[in-house]
Structures are given as structure tokens and as C-alpha cells.
Structure 1
Amino acid sequence: MPVTLTTRVDDELAKLIDEIAAKEGMDRSTVMRRFLSKAVRDWLIERSLKDYEDGKVTLWQVAERCGLSLWEVVNEVKKREIHVPYTLEDLKEDLEGL
């Protein structure tokens, strides 16, 4: 069931939103929903990749959290130049496994 959220924005932002709505042939609410959805998705990806960089989660967990494929997450890691948390100890363990 949809929930109504309200917020106040300054006049300039409201004007820009109305201009975008007119150009896209949408109403203000649709534009706001799309922008909000994109912003929340971007935040979730950014936050999840930060947790990955900090070694708190795996790439698979990032993919699950964000509703993305593993390859999409790998592309986000490359695009955002995320540091891969691979330590010297990880390398030693991998070499011992060989």
C-alpha cells in the first residue's frame, strides 16, 4: 500500500522539478517519485560498497542488498574506484590453498 510523504523544498527546486515534469510529460509527483527512488538506490549502493570496502560484507552480499547481479556490482566497484579489501593474509591463505 502506498504511503504519502510530504516535504518542503525551496522555490527554485520546485521550479526546476516543474520544468522537468513539463519536459518529460509527467506530473510533479511522478518526477519526485523517480528522483527519490534513484537517490535511495544510489545511497544503498554507495553505503553497501563502503561496507564492502571496510570488509564488513562480500560482493555477493552487496548484490543481494541492492538487487543487482554480481557483475553489476563489479562494474560499480570499477566505476567508483572502490578499494578491494584483500590483505596480505588473504593472499597467504590463497597461496597455501594452491
Structure 2
Amino acid sequence: MGVTLTTRVDERLAKLIDEIAKEEGMDRSTVMRRFLAKAVRDWLIEKSLKDYEEGKITLWQAAERCGLSLWEMIEEVRSRGVHIPYTLEDLKEDVEDL
């Protein structure tokens, strides 16, 4: 069973949501759930990629946190232009390992 959340929005936003619901053939609640789920997913990806960029977590950890595969997360990195935290020391270690 779901949890009911209540919030207030201005009239303009409510009208837009109603227009979208009508256009999509859905009720207002369904539109709101979809918008909320998408916004939460986007926030989680942005937060995880920020933590990755700052070196707080690995890309694999970011993917797991977001419920994405590693390849999906790599695509998010590419499409969002995230800076990959790869230092000169990392390069030296990789060259030595070769």
C-alpha cells in the first residue's frame, strides 16, 4: 500500500498538470507520481555523480545507489559531462602496472 503525501502548488502549476493529465489520458495523481519519480531519480543521479566527481564514491557505487547498471551510469557521466576524478598519480600507477 502506498503512502499519501499532500502538498500545495500554485494555480498555474495545477492547471499545467491538469492539461498534461488530459493530454496523456491520465488522472492528476498518476501524472504527479510520474513527475515525482522522475525528479527523485534525476536528483539521485546528480547527487551520486557529484559524490563520484568529488572522489567520495566509486562509479560502481554511484550506479548501485541509483539502481542503474555500470554501463547506464557511464552513459550518464558522458551525457552530463561529468569530470572523471583521474589524477596524475592514478596515471602513474596505471603505467607502472602495465
CA distance in 1, matches of 2:79, 2:25: 32
Q: TM-score, normalised by structure 1?
A: 0.97
Deviation at 1:15, TM superposition (A): 0.1
What's 1:40 paired with? 40
What's 2:17 paired with? 17
Tell me if 1:65 matches 2:65: yes
Tell me which amino acid in the other structure corresponds to 1:92.
K
CA distance in 1, matches of 2:81, 2:24: 33
Q: How many residues align?
A: 98
CA distance in 1, matches of 2:27, 2:66: 28
Question: Aligned residues: percent identity?
Answer: 80
Q: Which segment is superposed worse, 7-16 or 68-77?
A: 68-77
CA distance in 1, matches of 2:56, 2:97: 23
Deviation at 1:96, TM superposition (A): 1.4
Q: CA RMSD in A?
A: 0.6
Gaps of 5+ in 2: none
Gaps of 5+ in 1: none
Give 4+ residue runs of structure 1 displaced > 4 Å after superposition.
Answer: none
CA distance in 2, matches of 1:26, 1:39: 19
What's 2:83 paired with? 83
Tell me which amino acid in the other structure corresponds to 2:45.
I
CA distance in 2, matches of 1:77, 1:96: 27
What's 1:2 paired with? 2
CA distance in 1, matches of 2:12, 2:52: 37
CA distance in 2, matches of 1:59, 1:52: 6
Deviation at 1:94, TM superposition (A): 1.0
